[in-house]
Amino acid sequence: MKTPSARLESLAHALRGLDRIVRTQPNARLHLLTAALVCAVGVYVGLGRAEWLWISVAIVLVWSAEAFNKALEQLADALHPALHPVSAGPRMWPRPRC
């Protein structure tokens, strides 16, 4: 069983990862703003428990997909630093280097 200090350390690592995603991924900032707006509207209209559950699930799924995409991009960069036609794909802005 993890000690409370080990759990806090794990939480700190997770929060640093989220901070890095928000700082380096333009879409993550958009997801953060959208999630905040959805939550504000949900409070305003007085959503029930079930609605909050589904909104929470949707927000977690979007953030999980964004984090997984970031991890795959970093893995592709590590394995093949030069621009490769398969992993290049269309982009609206240059990929930030971490």
Residue 98 has pLDDT above 80, yes or no: no
Provide the whole-model pTM. Answer: 0.72
Structural domain total, the chain: 1
Three-state secondary structure string covering 65-95: HHHHHHHHHHHHHHHCCCCCHHHHCCCCCCC
> Is 97 among the domain residues?
no
Calpha distance 83→59 (Å, rounded): 32
Please name which of 34, 13, 28 lies closest in space to residue 73, comparing C-alpha atoms. Answer: 28
Q: Please give the average per-residue pLDDT across 16-27, as a whole number.
A: 88
- Tell the residue number behind the tokens 């997909």, with chain if given: 65
- Residue 86 banded pLDDT, cuts 50, 70, 90: low
Domain membership of residue 65 as a residue range: 4-83
pLDDT at 80: 75
* Helix, strand and coil in the chain, % to nearest 5: 80, 0, 20
> Is 89 among the domain residues?
no
> Is 92 among the domain residues?
no
